[in-house]
Chains A and B, each alone.
Chain A
Amino acid sequence: MATLTLVQAIHDALRTAMRADARVVVLGEDVGRLGGVFRATLGLHEEFGPERVIDTPLAEGGIVGAAIGMALYGLRPVPEIQFADFIYPAFDQIVNELAKLRYRSGGEYPCPVVIRAPYGGGVKGGHYHSQSPEALFIHTAGLKVVVPSTPYDAKGLLLSALRQEDPVLFLEPKRLYRAAKGEVPEGDYTVPLESAAVRREGTDVTVVAWGAMVPEALEAAESAAHAGISCEVVDLRTLWPVDITTLEASARKTGRVVVVHEAARTCGFGAEVAALLQERCFVHLAAPVKRVTGWDTPFPYALEQQYLPLAPRILAGVDETFRFVA
């Protein structure tokens, strides 16, 4: 088994899928000769040619709109949005078209497009290369939202996304593109969608995280252990539809939950996690569900370390939640 970075695992998944299925095509800005600004599609242009690895004109609405048409016609398009911050010109196509085509056509026009987009902060990207827009798409009925945190999962989840029938927004934590390394099997395998992973077992506090905040949560859990607090870290992997069984079981076990995300707090997915847990296991909760998140500000360039919910803030949240007495 090779040791790959997360972005290499994405690349491996695309190449594996394209070799296995001629219907899989990649399209986007700079995905061809350059191999994408993060090199996720490096070499695919050479192996599969310009017809399947398409450098499009610069218009996100056109990229997603064309991908929708391709999927309706029977292809398996994988559009790349260069940064999740640039997805908003395609918002109409995603929310009003992609998410609703199966439903509004009574099932006649399913639309299995997998949109890849690097997201998140911590790379000195400022307002427009750092955003975490997942909640906007979770709020839209008909979409699946997937966020890997390890190279193994990145490949397996992307291959799963390409082999099911619903549209998927596949958000890639760019902070982990090269920072996350791990063993990745060669060839084909899948990691199931809608299935969370318990990254660390514990009994006192559950920390729910995804993407680039998973390593931060694990770091906080390690620090907490030294202070005598046993944390369970749940990596959601698929944000929606969320693995409610794993989430609820962990909350019932610990009775104390901290949810972590980079996106701004208000109406972030952490709010939904908190709402789900209080609806489903209110009497098992010993403390309010704590949100450790990005602040309700635009993403700041110079102060990104203070904006992000990194391990020290997670640890503080864990500590507060652990000590809470009703």
Chain B
Amino acid sequence: MAAPLAKEEAEAGALSPEALVALYRAMARIRVVDERMATLQRAGRVGFYGVCTGQEAACIGSAAALRPSDWVFPALREGAAMLLRGFPLVTYLAQCFGNAGDVGRGRQMPSHQAGRSVNQVSWSSCIGNQLPQAVGAAWAAKLQREDTVVLAYLGDGATSTGDFHTALNFAGVARVPVVFVCQNNQWSISVPFRAQTATATVAEKAAAYGMPGVKVDGNDVEAVYAATAVAVARARRGEGPTLIEAETYRVGAHSSADDPSRYREAAEVERWRAKDPLVRTRARLEAAGLWDATREAALLDELSAEVAAAIHEAEATPPVQAESMFEGVYARLPWHLAEQRSELLSVLGSRAPVPRDD
């Protein structure tokens, strides 16, 4: 967990040594979570998983610039943002198992976590759809004279969608307090960034919408934090939106269903591995006398134990009840869903007892 960041630090975009250690711990934590979940996926214990390996600094550095009251509209690789902001790890993992411990009641595939408790909004899977919604939430905050800032994440592929253009255009016109953070990880599944757009950068697109565009080294957690903190402070002052391009790299596959060896060279991956955000942050902490091999070993032991225990607990949670499928389509169960629920239960009942909620 990140230590609370002092307001002045956020304004300046600078991190205290303690805060940098906290961000390093958060990055190490999601790395361990991702490794363990990817292993479970290969073992068939979860159906799907999307890691953020290599992109930890871009996600965590940006999310760290927010207040708890700020909102996040994530894309696929921002689960770490909600963990950083205090979402329980067991509940996060339960989403991957789609069981009764999942806030979303097992309705979305893994890596689609959301949580009102940390103001992280549900993402659909549709690329770019969250962006106009983030603008609307920021607009609502502005209309209600609240100082909430909305952070909207996207990948480089999303910059090709109509919703990207629409959202940035609306945000620029209405000057709403939204910060768009594009994690440009160079690949949209198998399509490279150069085939996604004719511009050299994502950041330069901001000019077309009348907002600042900032390109930052997305593997440098301090740089990402600083750029986001400045943009968030601008938004909070009522000075409107910013587009940040965090240049990073998807070291792993797009998802557990992907095979990157079919479309990219191993040498490219290795070049980016050398810029691993965890290695770079650790080196800085060690140079500053804030970290060493002993602390590293202790941290990895601690995280391994924490994640193993959380997975054990999440996996042991009971499945969702069949009849829950019909709940929450509407605020109240309408007649046709009540009938369909009865139909399902009668069919299930004729084969095996239906587990009941107590």
Contact = CB atoms under 8 A, between A and B. Distances in A.
A25 B136 CA distance: 12
Contacts of B124: 96-97, 100, 104
A96 B129 contact: yes
B221 interface: no
B82 to A, nearest CB: 12
Interface in B250-279: none
Most chain A beta-carbon neighbours within 10 Å: one of B107, B150, B166: B166
Interface in B132-149: 132-141, 143-144, 148
A72 B140 CA distance: 9
A160 interface: no
Contacts of A142: 329-330
Contacts, number: 149
A106 interface: yes
A103 B103 CA distance: 11
B108 interface: yes
B140 A65 contact: no
Contacts of A66: 132-133, 135-136, 139, 170
Interface size, B (range)? 35 or more
Contact residue range for chain A?
A: 35 or more
B126 A105 contact: no
B267 to A, nearest CB: 38
Contacts of B105: 106-107
Contacts of A107: 105, 328
B169 A57 contact: yes
B129 A97 contact: yes
Interface of A: 25, 51-52, 54, 56-57, 59, 61-62, 64-75, 77, 89, 92-93, 96-97, 100-110, 141-142, 144, 164-166, 194, 241, 244
9 contacts: A57-B173, A59-B162, A64-B132, A69-B73, A92-B126, A96-B126, A102-B329, A104-B108, A105-B104
Interface of B: 71, 73, 102-105, 107-108, 112, 114-116, 121-122, 124, 126, 129, 131-141, 143-144, 148, 150, 162-163, 166-167, 169-170, 173-174, 328-331, 334-336
The 9 closest A-B pairs by CB, nearest first: A69-B136, A65-B132, A66-B136, A73-B140, A69-B137, A62-B166, A165-B331, A241-B334, A69-B133
